[in-house]
Amino acid sequence: MSKITFEELLDAGVHFGHLKRKWNPAMAPYIFMERNGIHIIDLEKTIEKLEEAASAMKHIARSGKKILFVATKKQAKEIVAEKVKQINMPFVVERWPGGMLTNFPTIRKAVKKMTSIDKMATDGTFANLSKREKLQITRQRAKLEKLLGSIADLTRLPSAIFVVDVCKENIAVREAKRLGIPVFAMVDTNSDPSDIDFPIPANDDASKSISVIVDYLCKAIEEGLNERKLEKDKEPSVKDKKEIRRELETKALPDSVIKAIVEEEEEIEPETETKRKIYFGDDEESEGQLISDELEEEEAEEETEEESGEEKEE
């Protein structure tokens, strides 16, 4: 993936901050200058921090973990939803459900409820309900879809979250920090970057600025997912692993032992059949004769024992 350039960020207006009177002193290291009462963000710092964030996100994606994108502000909703859907990552672009991270089991129950409603529609249960019940369930399903539809596949807590506006999504940031989940975020000149693990100094109000940052991060995640797929394809299957293990085990064994293993696996002759031939030979008649002789001997011994027992009694 090619690195982002200074010109790309400049054209997107990433460098425009807020009015001087709205600034947060904690953002001082990322501010280049002030112009016409507006703070200008240092794009060199933006590139540095963006590369760090992209590298970390790529590593998370390569390990098979999920990153939750949060962008409920009007300018970012459609941009984030469109780009994040392409990489199959969860996102929240409507109102942030309070306790979504800190009370995750309850959120999962709501998602399961939505799934059960879908099942009712397919298995015919829905047809047996009254019109009023159908309407109530349909409305409930629509509400759940709006709030939780984009996180339906999130079966466990995300490994990280990305936030477009720290000030607006402060609840999401607090929940993530409480659970020790790393936070990636676009931080404008009015934001506090001290609680953010991977701050990206950038204009979080302009749609072009949001688009260029989110697009770059999504490409990094996609690259990580592709690398993970290639690694999985290179891994030998279970059958291949067995063959490799067998080959390694047999290499160090003598030829006689290897031959015995092969004969045993191919089941040339059952063990019982081999014993029969050793004792009786290949002739079935002789086998029968030997068995009958053994029976006669046993009967004779029993008669002798009975006679000796009678003599003792006398």
Percent of the chain with pLDDT over 90: 49
What is the count of structural domains for the chain?
3
57 and 196 inside one domain? yes
Output the pLDDT for position 136. 86
Using CA atoms, how far residue 261 sits from 32, 77, 254, in Å, is 75, 65, 11
* 85 plus 164 within the same structural domain: yes
Residue 123 lies in a domain: no
Residues 256 and 223 in one domain: no
The per-residue pLDDT for 278 is 44
In this structure, are 300 and 161 located in the same domain? Answer: no
Average pLDDT, the chain: 81
In a domain, 73, yes or no: yes
Residue 297 has pLDDT above 70, yes or no: no
Q: pLDDT for 208-220, tens place per residue?
A: 999 999 999 999 9
pLDDT at 140 over 80: yes
Give me the mean pLDDT over the 62-84 stretch.
Answer: 93
Closest alpha carbon to 62 in 228, 223, 219, 217 = 228
Alpha-carbon distance of 202 to 227, in angstroms, equals: 29
Domain final position from 181, 214, 234: 234
The contacts of residue 52 (CB under 8 Å, 6+ apart) are 198
| pLDDT of the residue at 257 | 53
Q: Are 186 and 296 part of one and the same domain?
A: no
Q: Is residue 63 part of a domain?
A: yes
Determine the pLDDT at residue 112: 84
Q: How many Cβ atoms are within 10 Å of 140's Cβ, its own excluded?
A: 13
Average pLDDT over residues 79-108: 90
Confidence of residue 226 (pLDDT cuts 50, 70, 90): very high
pLDDT, greater one: 266 or 70: 70
pLDDT tens for 171-183 read: 999 999 999 999 9
Q: Same domain, yes or no, for 167 and 302?
A: no
pTM: 0.70
The average pLDDT across 127-135 equals 82
**Residue 298, pLDDT score:** 59
Considering the domain architecture, whether residues 51 and 163 belong to the same structural domain is answered as yes
* Predicted pLDDT at 249: 61
- Answer yes or no: do 86 and 18 share one domain: yes
Q: Are residues 261 and 286 in the same domain?
A: no
Structural domain span for residue 310: 274-314
Same-domain check for residues 170 and 92: yes
